């Protein structure tokens, strides 16, 4: 047997065995993964903060370079950019907890106080519809009773309100939690500041280590994969955050303009669900429509038309100009990645599955073109 063929078969068998072991022991592997994440939590949180702030930091650095480029303080442009980025982050966090969160809680409480009346109106309307009588008969119902459904919704929303209003105070009443939160937060900020301010040094050190221990071909491949991964995650994270902020903010403003109830709540719902690729904004719109239809069917129709137009405008005009091209993954693979990622790692899997799948898809496509002797597309 040809030596090269034997080596290829051996690699395939090894990969197959590892894959089978991974599938069989998946629960243990996932538990080990979260254990490692927990041990290095400050480092990972710091990396996440630095990654999110990297693009704003680059923007501020360019602005400071223009202003300080010909002065003696030109070396301060990077530290000033880092400081400005963190100041912006803290301002946004404070604004959310002081402005957005109280309005959100207020909207939920108003809805809770009115839900019995909404359900009663829906119940009366449905019971008057003669075409629904056969359905009620098949369910052995004389009339539809939505009181239990109303209690279910009230219980769920009361849980949300209690979480939003009491979770932080309860968390801070336990001394061990206070110490853990303070230490983790402090170390995370320190790590992120060091990563942002010393980005060039860290990258240079990594390149030197890779060059010292890896063959040239491996070094080139790893460097290419790292650049591809960084660019893909940057485009995706920036795009989703910008899309969520724009859709959430403009939705809330639109609801205020048409004088619809629960504008802050609907804006937060649409903005938060927009973080889920492709289907997020539609899910948020569906939830918001359920809330609005209890108040006014006409305003619900106006809201759905408004949201559809807004999403088309944001996706075709604003998003490409601000972020550029998307992650380059076909729609069917985006849905598959979100489904698999959510099933394996819940919400975290939903957020990171698309860029991970995009990197793997790009690498596979490149390898296929290389093996077939085609040019990259």
- Indicate the SS3 state at residue 207: helix
pLDDT at 109: 77
Average confidence (pLDDT) over 325-346: 74
Task: Say if CB 157 and CB 111 are below 8 A apart.
Answer: yes
Average confidence (pLDDT) over 185-201: 86
Q: Is the per-residue pLDDT at 161 higher than 90?
A: no
Which range has highest mean pLDDT (4-18, 107-121, 180-194, 309-323)? 180-194
Q: Is the per-residue pLDDT at 325 higher than 70?
A: no
Using CA atoms, how far residue 317 sits from 238, 251, 312, in Å, is 16, 17, 8
* Gap between the Cα atoms of 325 and 93, Å rounded: 29
Task: Say if CB 268 and CB 291 are below 8 A apart.
Answer: no
pLDDT at 164: 59
- Give rounded-to-5 percent helix, strand, coil for the chain: 85, 0, 15
pLDDT at 29: 72
Average confidence (pLDDT) over 137-147: 63
pLDDT at 55: 84
Q: Is the per-residue pLDDT at 67 higher than 80?
A: no
Local structure of residue 3 (DSSP, 8 states): H
pLDDT at 319: 63
pLDDT at 377: 46
* Gap between the Cα atoms of 146 and 290, Å rounded: 15
Largest CA distance in the chain: 85
Chain segment 10-24, per-residue pLDDT in tens = 777 887 877 777 677
**Radius of gyration of the CA atoms of the chain, in A:** 26
Half-sphere exposure of 135 (CA within 13 A, CB side): 7
Q: Which of residues 339 and 322 earns the better pLDDT score?
A: 339
Q: Per-residue b/e over 50-81, b at no fewer than 16 CB within 10 Å? A: bbbbbbbbeebbeebeeeeeeeeeeeebbebb
Average pLDDT of the chain is 77
Domain borders along the chain are 1-38
Local structure of residue 198 (DSSP, 8 states): T
Which range has highest mean pLDDT (153-157, 165-169, 226-230)? 226-230
* Gap between the Cα atoms of 354 and 229, Å rounded: 12
* Gap between the Cα atoms of 261 and 289, Å rounded: 11
Q: Is the per-residue pLDDT at 304 higher than 80?
A: yes
User: What are 154's two structure tokens?
Assistant: 């009230």
Report the Cα 26 to chain-centroid distance in Å: 24
pLDDT at 140: 60
Q: Is the per-residue pLDDT at 94 higher than 80?
A: yes
* Gap between the Cα atoms of 245 and 254, Å rounded: 14
Task: Say if CB 284 and CB 274 are below 8 A apart.
Answer: yes
pLDDT at 87: 93
Q: Is the per-residue pLDDT at 207 higher than 80?
A: yes
Chain segment 261-296, per-residue pLDDT in tens = 778 888 888 888 888 776 777 888 888 887 787 777
């Amino acid at each position: 047997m040809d030596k090269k063929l034997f080596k290829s078969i051996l690699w395939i068998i090894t990969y197959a065995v590892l894959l089978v072991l991974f599938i069989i022991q998946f629960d243990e592997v996932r538990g080990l993964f979260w254990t490692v994440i927990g041990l290095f939590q400050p480092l990972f949180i710091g990396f996440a903060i630095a990654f999110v702030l990297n693009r704003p930091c680059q923007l501020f650095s360019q602005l400071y370079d223009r202003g300080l480029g010909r002065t003696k303080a030109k070396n301060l442009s990077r530290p000033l950019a880092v400081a400005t980025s963190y100041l912006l982050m803290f301002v946004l966090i404070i604004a959310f907890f002081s402005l957005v969160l109280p309005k959100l809680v207020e909207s939920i409480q108003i809805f809770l106080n009115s839900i019995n009346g909404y359900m009663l109106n829906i119940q009366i309307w449905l019971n008057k519809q003669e075409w629904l009588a056969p359905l009620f008969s098949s369910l052995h119902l004389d009339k539809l009773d939505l009181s239990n459904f109303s209690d279910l919704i009230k219980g769920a929303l009361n849980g949300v309100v209690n979480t939003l209003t009491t979770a932080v105070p309860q968390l801070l009443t336990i001394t061990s939690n206070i110490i853990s939160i303070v230490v983790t937060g402090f170390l995370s900020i320190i790590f992120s500041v060091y990563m942002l301010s010393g980005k060039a040094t860290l990258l240079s050190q990594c390149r030197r280590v890779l060059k010292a221990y890896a063959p040239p071909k491996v070094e080139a491949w790893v460097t290419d994969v790292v650049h591809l991964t960084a660019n893909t995650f940057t485009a995706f994270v920036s795009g989703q955050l910008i899309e969520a902020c724009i859709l959430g903010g403009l939705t809330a403003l639109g609801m205020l303009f048409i004088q619809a109830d629960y504008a802050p709540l609907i804006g937060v719902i649409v903005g938060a669900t927009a973080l889920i690729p492709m289907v997020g904004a539609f899910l948020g719109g569906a939830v918001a429509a359920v809330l609005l239809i209890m108040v006014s069917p006409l305003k619900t129709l106006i809201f759905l038309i408004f949201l559809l137009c807004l999403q088309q405008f944001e996706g075709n005009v604003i998003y490409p100009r601000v972020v550029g091209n998307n992650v380059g993954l076909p729609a069917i693979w985006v849905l598959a990645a979100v489904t698999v990622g959510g099933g394996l790692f819940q919400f975290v899997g939903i957020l990171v599955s698309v860029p991970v799948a995009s990197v793997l898809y790009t690498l596979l496509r490149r390898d296929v073109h290389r093996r077939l002797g085609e040019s990259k597309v």
